[in-house]
Structure 1
Amino acid sequence: MSYRARLAAREAEMGRPLRVGLVGAGQMGRGFAAQLLRTPGVTLSAVLDVQRERAEEALAQSGLAISAAETTDQAVLAIENGESVALGGIDELGALPLDVVVEATGVPDVGARVALQSLLGGIGIATLNVESDVTVGRLMAEVATKSDAIYSVCRGDEPVEAKILVDYARDLSFDVVCAGKGKNNPLDVYATPESLASRAAEKQMNPKMLCSFVDGSKAMIEMAALANTTGLGVSKRGMHGPPSTVPTLHQTFALKEDGGVLDKAGVVDYCTGPVAPGVFVVVRTEDPYVNHEMTYLQMGDGPYFSLYRPYHLASIEAPLTVFEMALDHRASLTAEHWTAEVGAMSKRALSAGETIDGVGGSMVRGLIDDADDFVRDGAVPLGVLAGARLTRDLPVDHMLTYDDVELDESSLIVGLRRLQDQSVEGSMPTLDELTALVASG
């Protein structure tokens, strides 16, 4: 039975629709809201944004009546009565009677706070914030298990759609050589929000968001999430990112001894060119008859073949994760492994005393790395660097380490990352300790 039919049946059985809360009423959030409400049996019960007027606009755009609730108690009552509320803060998020919260801010610290508050309140969290996931996603998955809730990265972005292809290939007993995404153009690793201001205005995008795409940070983050959910490794620090086309994917991402770019199999990478906006998996089989069948089916000439999905629909597909969580009680993507990290490479010479402006800024760009190499080199995750102060002068193209910065210890994601690192060593924090951490922030 389709999700649409099952959601309608659920509403008939329970006497109310699935209640969804949205945090972040920007481009992604509004796209999600518009698509969500096309489905029967679902409502948008709450929109929360630091700019409350944006939350109100998102609800109005969706055609929903907005409650005049000002307090948490009023908001709870309004939601239980079938109304929708617009709120300007997230402090009482966990107290709202919601079934699933969707986080769409793109800010790592906010994403971590929303995820933690939702999980501690026993509410499932579906995040569009992959930046947060590659920083503390492993901890969030553990918190979800302890809270008897679900944490998931949303469908529609490349990591989940590529993961689906990886699972498909593995279910067919193929060897996965490489999984990844297409990117429209080669990276401009020194791009800044200022240099992209006119392009951002034309696209009606936040300049920092556009910059995170152009300087490669987003690709590094997305492929790290894919690695951490599938257990695949990193092809090399920063990945190869060669040009390719759909018909030549299986040639491009073959091993070097077979004419491709890869030193090893079982990795993530990306390519530039007309493969975008799709995702792919390059597989290999040594079985002569399977090789023959795949060649007959025009999937290549073997032993390498490529599986390709020509699109990802971003916030338009994101509701599928909400439905999957609510009806099937499972996540679309969670960090079952931790094979990749995303560090920070300086875009220009940096001076001691400067404060780092974070993802998509003018100072650093994201760079994917093997998790073990990352720890060995003392590298610092990109997701904890916003607001960090440089302790010494650094040259351009320098990968930042913990010795290079003083982190903003008031940032929740910094504290959560420290707890994640401790939990890897076997000391998982209790829910009470996590609750206290949220309260202190």
Structure 2
Amino acid sequence: MTSLSTKLAELDKAGKPVQVGIIGAGKFGSMYISQSFRTAGIRLAGIADLSADRALASLKRTGYPEDKYDATAKLSISEGIKAGKTAITTDSAALIATPEIDVILEVTGNPSAGIRHALLCCEHKKHIVMINVEADVLAGPLLARKAKEAGIIYSMAYGDQPALIAELVDWARTAGFEVVCAGKGTKHLPEYHYSTPDTVWNYYGFTKEQLDSGDFNPQMFNSFLDGTKSALEMAAVSNGCDLSPPTNGLNFPPVGIWDLPERLKPISEGGQNEKNGTVEVVSCMETDGRWVFNHLRWGVYVVIKAPGEYQKECFKQYGLQTDASGWYAAQYKPYHLIGLELGVSVASIMVRGEPTGQTKTWSGDVVATAKRDLEIGEKLDGEGGFTVYGRLMPAADSMAISGLPIGLAHGWVLKRAVKKDQRLSWDDIEYTESAQAVAVRKEMETIFKAEFKAQKVNGVNGHA
């Protein structure tokens, strides 16, 4: 098989490098920027950020060569490409509309912005890597359809855990194994659901020097801690791999690498999962705060089942760590490098014409859930904030309760009181459908509600 790097080098030699535009110069964006000039055949043509100073600071902080970017931030993207320099703009729409751009990396983390940028990519025929999992879960099932209709590739981000999990799932299915469970590790205790931006650093343990670096946004990092990001990522995996979310949300069981096959097999086989073909996040901490032995905090995994006695014996012969029965085994990747690996997505799209993971169905949704008792008139503040966290649930169940997606639980005022741990619905808030993100989400709900109904009528228990 020809390697991606070899094909990229051929493009470079031919003078036809892939031209990349990135939207968002935060932590993830900065990680990609730090690697972007190191791969032959890929050029970072432009960076769009609401603050040109932030984009420039990212370039300087990550060691980007000074002769390879426009420090004046005055060149247009096209002018920068001609001059061989990365251009900086505050106009993301202009970046997307630039004719020479091949691939857009959406790294804003803002779901509304992500939807807007995806639709612009459809309009201007630009491939898009949706690093913005918030937008992907909010409207990805519909955006992926629109991208296909537009003839562009809509992809997950390699280096982010959903794409790496999707890769493991694809490996398992290609090799002929049943996927029992797939997911990732994280640091989680039950009380973390109620963490706020004021308490987040108490749980993380970052040094003052790290926090002063400019890479650490307390609300964003709190969304990692309170379970919202895990819920979003597992919804993305459910939708990209046609796997089922746990009916009552993620359980975050404390499980080490060696115990994955034993603990994450179905209850009917002595495990903890309700059935085969699910997603789950394992915690690196026991409920009493002790670290799990051989934990998978930074990694991803897939649990598979031997299809017969012969394969079961092969598991044993080749040293796989299995459950007590020998039927269930796990494969895992202990680490992920986030934006440092993102170039793989760019290369896969442009060299192979393939995404590194892609939303296919609407299986999982993430619904805003109250962190505390909320009163009439309070304003919601979204992922990682003081009012709500995101809870994973089957998409059909979310539709049944008119669940308010976590990606839109920001800025709206409550018109009804909500109890702690209660899942919010559209009926709990004052909102307007004139906002683009709301309109797109409502369009998706209408389409899939009809599909869910048709499946139920036809006796189908799968996904849309």
Q: State TM-score, norm by structure 1.
A: 0.91
Corresponding residue number in structure 2 for 1:294: 315
Partners of 1:312 and 1:22 lie apart in 2 by 20
- Counterpart of 1:272 (choices 270, 273, 283) is 283
CA contact (8 A) 1:55 1:88 kept: no
Corresponding residue number in structure 1 for 2:45: 45
- Counterpart of 2:428 (choices 404, 408, 417) is 404
Q: Give the alignment of 1:272-421 within 5 angstroms.
A: 272-273=283-284, 274-299=295-320, 300=322, 301-421=325-445
Gap change, CA 1:197 and 1:286, over 3 Å in 2? closer
Corresponding residue number in structure 2 for 1:432: none
1:233 Cα deviation from its structure 2 partner: 0.4
CA contact (8 A) 1:93 1:117 kept: no
Q: Give the alignment of 1:25-36 within 5 angstroms.
A: 25-36=25-36
Partners of 1:89 and 1:349 lie apart in 2 by 40
- Counterpart of 1:229 (choices 233, 237, 240) is 240
1:280 Cα deviation from its structure 2 partner: 1.0
Partners of 1:17 and 1:286 lie apart in 2 by 45
1:227 Cα deviation from its structure 2 partner: 0.6
Corresponding residue number in structure 1 for 2:455: none
1:164-192: CA deviation from partner (whole Å, max 9, x where unpaired): 11111112222211111111332411000
Partners of 2:405 and 2:18 lie apart in 1 by 36
Corresponding residue number in structure 2 for 1:79: 81
CA contact (8 A) 2:180 2:305 kept: yes
2:271 is aligned with 1:247: no
Partners of 1:410 and 1:70 lie apart in 2 by 34
2:265 maps to a residue whose letter is A
Partners of 1:252 and 1:69 lie apart in 2 by 53
2:105 is aligned with 1:102: yes
Gap change, CA 1:384 and 1:329, over 3 Å in 2? same
Corresponding residue number in structure 1 for 2:194: 190
CA contact (8 A) 2:399 2:449 kept: no
2:173 is aligned with 1:167: no
CA contact (8 A) 1:112 1:136 kept: yes
Aligned to 1:306, what secondary structure does the other structure show? strand
CA contact (8 A) 2:133 2:233 kept: yes
Partners of 1:412 and 1:137 lie apart in 2 by 14
1:54-90: CA deviation from partner (whole Å, max 9, x where unpaired): 122334542223075658xx44333344332111122
Partners of 2:156 and 2:262 lie apart in 1 by 31
Corresponding residue number in structure 1 for 2:13: 12
CA contact (8 A) 1:233 1:267 kept: yes
CA contact (8 A) 2:375 2:416 kept: yes
CA contact (8 A) 2:129 2:156 kept: yes
1:370-406: CA deviation from partner (whole Å, max 9, x where unpaired): 1111111221111122122211111111100111112
Partners of 2:184 and 2:24 lie apart in 1 by 26
Corresponding residue number in structure 1 for 2:90: 88
Partners of 2:77 and 2:342 lie apart in 1 by 25
Q: Percent identity?
A: 32
1:23-71: CA deviation from partner (whole Å, max 9, x where unpaired): 1111111111111211012111110111111122334542223075658
1:148-177: CA deviation from partner (whole Å, max 9, x where unpaired): 111111011111111111111112222211
CA contact (8 A) 2:167 2:357 kept: no
Aligned length: 424
Partners of 2:280 and 2:266 lie apart in 1 by 13
- Most deviating of 269-278 and 403-412: 403-412
CA contact (8 A) 1:55 1:86 kept: yes
Gap change, CA 1:219 and 1:285, over 3 Å in 2? same
CA contact (8 A) 2:367 2:391 kept: yes
Gap change, CA 1:43 and 1:286, over 3 Å in 2? closer
2:249 is aligned with 1:238: yes
1:261 maps to a residue whose letter is Q
1:303 maps to a residue whose letter is W
Partners of 1:95 and 1:286 lie apart in 2 by 50
Aligned to 2:20, what secondary structure does the other structure show? strand
Gap change, CA 1:53 and 1:69, over 3 Å in 2? closer
Corresponding residue number in structure 1 for 2:116: 113
Gap change, CA 1:193 and 1:70, over 3 Å in 2? same
Aligned to 1:356, what secondary structure does the other structure show? strand
**Pairwise CA RMSD:** 2.0
CA contact (8 A) 2:19 2:43 kept: yes
Structure 2 gap segments, 5+ residues each: 285-294, 452-464
1:412 Cα deviation from its structure 2 partner: 2.5
1:197 Cα deviation from its structure 2 partner: 4.9
CA contact (8 A) 1:7 1:41 kept: yes
- Counterpart of 1:217 (choices 220, 228, 250) is 228
2:21 maps to a residue whose letter is G
Partners of 1:126 and 1:419 lie apart in 2 by 22
2:301 maps to a residue whose letter is F
Gap change, CA 1:142 and 1:348, over 3 Å in 2? same
